[in-house]
């Protein structure tokens, strides 16, 4: 509490603040800040509105590529959503990749989180090292991780493709899953597990039927995080994709030649599904509490 400066100040009991200070607070809080905040929110939403708007933009001229100018409203691109072969297959590849990476990262990350919550240094040597590696993994620049993985795969003569993408996506998702699960495990009542043991359950049965159901909200939150990280990843995937090109890498490649309007259709679809899941998880977490 050194911020208060005078040590005696902190012992003062809370009394009614001078009314003038409160009034000015309220006034400021009521007028300027909310306006400003809504402007920031508008700024954050604005490009998304533009994306959805351009997914309805007509194309004039030969090639079906989006143009900067507005040419009129059409739902053509929603009807022809799958008519760009490379884009559609890249999208499905991204989905498969995200599903596989999420499953693996969620299992590994959850096990690690359980170990970190439950065991401490005398019984768990090297715990601090593990924690520092997780921190480094979250904070290190992605371009360096992607480049170094590419260097490793080239040195070991491993062909780039779906497998290397899975290896990398799991690598950068584990830390986020672990951190998320760990945060939600705070306040976990170990007596419930003790009770299961006392009633003769084996460790595996206890884990599957007592521990896992209890930590499930955290595990699901971690899985959503891993899925979002994987499906949006560009930098690492660009280094490691080789012949199997995920959605963001395909779109990036398309910026050089021109973007088919379907890219924005997929963007709008991913946005809608993502927001749906987010709202759903907020609603569920509210009901649980």
Residues 183 to 212 in contact with another protein, rule: CB under 8 A: 183, 194, 197, 203
CB of 246 to another protein, least distance (A): 10
> Alpha carbon 175 to chain centroid distance?
12
Q: In the stretch 268-287, what mask flags binding to another protein with x, by CB under 8 A?
A: --xx--xx--xx--x-----
CB of 247 to another protein, least distance (A): 7
Q: In the stretch 212-251, what mask flags binding to another protein with x, by CB under 8 A?
A: ----------------x--xx-xx--xx-------xx--x
CB of 50 to another protein, least distance (A): 5
Helix (H, G, I), strand (E, B) or coil at 158: coil
Instruction: Report residue 68 as tokens.
Output: 């900067």
Question: CA nearest 165: which of 97, 253, 232, 223?
Answer: 97
How is residue 124 annotated by DSSP? Answer: S
Q: Does 255 bind another protein (CB under 8 A)?
A: yes
Q: In the stretch 28-47, what mask flags binding to another protein with x, by CB under 8 A?
A: xx---xx-xx--xx-xxxxx
Q: How far apart are CA 150 and CA 146, in angstroms?
A: 6
Taking the C-alpha atoms of 241, 246, 250 and 253 in order, what is their torsion angle to the nearest 10 degrees?
A: -30
CB of 213 to another protein, least distance (A): 18
Q: How far apart are CA 213 and CA 170, in angstroms?
A: 23
b/e sequence 166-176, b meaning 16+ C-beta within 10 Å: bbbbbbbbbbb
Region 92-131 residues binding another protein, contact defined as CB under 8 A: 107-109, 111-112, 114-116, 118-120, 123-124, 127, 130-131
């Amino acid at each position: 509490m050194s911020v208060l400066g005078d040590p005696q100040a902190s012992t003062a009991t809370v009394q009614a603040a001078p009314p003038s200070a409160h009034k000015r607070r309220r006034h400021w809080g009521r007028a300027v800040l909310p306006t400003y905040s809504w402007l920031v929110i508008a700024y954050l939403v604005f490009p998304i509105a533009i994306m959805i708007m351009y997914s309805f933009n007509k194309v004039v001229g030969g090639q079906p590529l989006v143009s900067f100018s507005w040419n009129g409203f059409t739902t053509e691109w929603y009807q022809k959503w799958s008519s760009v072969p490379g884009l559609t297959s890249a999208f499905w590849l991204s989905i498969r990749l995200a599903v596989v990476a999420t499953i693996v990262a969620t299992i590994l990350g959850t096990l690690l989180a359980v170990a970190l919550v439950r065991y401490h240094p005398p019984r768990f040597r090297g715990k601090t090292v593990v924690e520092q590696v997780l921190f480094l993994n979250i904070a290190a620049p992605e371009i360096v991780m992607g480049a170094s993985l590419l260097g490793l795969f080239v040195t070991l003569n491993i062909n780039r493709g779906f497998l290397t993408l899975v290896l990398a996506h799991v690598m950068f998702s584990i830390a986020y899953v672990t951190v998320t699960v760990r945060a939600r495990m705070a306040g976990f009542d170990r007596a419930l597990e003790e009770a299961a043991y006392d009633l003769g359950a084996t460790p595996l049965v206890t884990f599957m039927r007592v521990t896992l159901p209890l930590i499930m909200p955290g595990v699901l939150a971690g899985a959503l995080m891993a899925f979002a990280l994987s499906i949006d990843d560009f930098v690492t995937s660009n280094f490691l994709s080789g012949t199997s090109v995920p959605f963001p890498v395909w779109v990036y490649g398309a910026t050089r030649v021109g973007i088919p309007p379907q890219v924005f259709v997929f963007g709008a679809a991913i946005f809608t599904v993502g927001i749906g899941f987010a709202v759903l998880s907020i609603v569920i977490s509210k009901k649980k509490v």
